[in-house]
Amino acid sequence: MAHFSRLYAICVDVPAHDHDATVAFWSGAAGAEMPVVGRYPEFNGARLPNHDMLLLAQRLGDGEARMHLDFHTDDLDAEVARLEALGATRVERAGNWQVMRDPAGLPFCVVLDAPGTLSEANATRWD
């Protein structure tokens, strides 16, 4: 099915005890304040200055610090299927996003965007 997607966010995943220091560091490094993101208190983030990408810091319940990428799409099922055909595997569905792993086992997410957010002007159309 035809749909749009784009690589949209860089997410720094950190244990809770490192979260505040990580947010302060990346905020200063990127030159952008990183407030709490909407209704998700475990995320702080901002659009990167002079870029069309987000930088997020995610407070983990457990696990090691790492980074992952987020793809945004207007059709979650179609984008997940496209990425599976390229060699990705599903890990866990969480609301409006799907956690996946690339062929090397690295995590990434596919996030459903609000209708009308993606278009030919800011994303790739997949037929």
What are the pLDDT digits (tens) for 72-96? 999 999 999 999 999 999 999 999 9
CB 87 within 8 A of CB 103: yes
Residue-level pLDDT at 62 = 81
**What pLDDT digit, counting tens, does each position of 55-74 carry?**
999 999 888 999 999 999 99
**What pLDDT digit, counting tens, does each position of 32-62 carry?**
999 999 888 999 999 998 888 999 999 998 8
| Cα–Cα distance for residue pair 23/33, rounded to 1 Å | 9
| Residue ranges making up the domain that contains 50 | 3-126
Domain count of the chain?
1
The CB density around residue 13, as the number of other CB atoms within 10 Å, is: 19
Given a cut of 80, whether residue 1 has pLDDT beyond it is: no
Residue-level pLDDT at 16 = 94
Averaged pLDDT, 96-122? 96
User: Which pTM was predicted?
Assistant: 0.89
Residue-level pLDDT at 6 = 98
Residue type, 108: F
Residue-level pLDDT at 33 = 95
Residues 6+ apart with CB under 8 A from 66: 13, 107
DSSP 42-82: EEEEEEPTTSS-EEEEEEESSS--EEEEEEEES-HHHHHHH
Residue type, 33: E
Residue-level pLDDT at 39 = 87
Residue-level pLDDT at 87 = 98
CATH number of the domain to which 29 belongs = 3.10.180.10
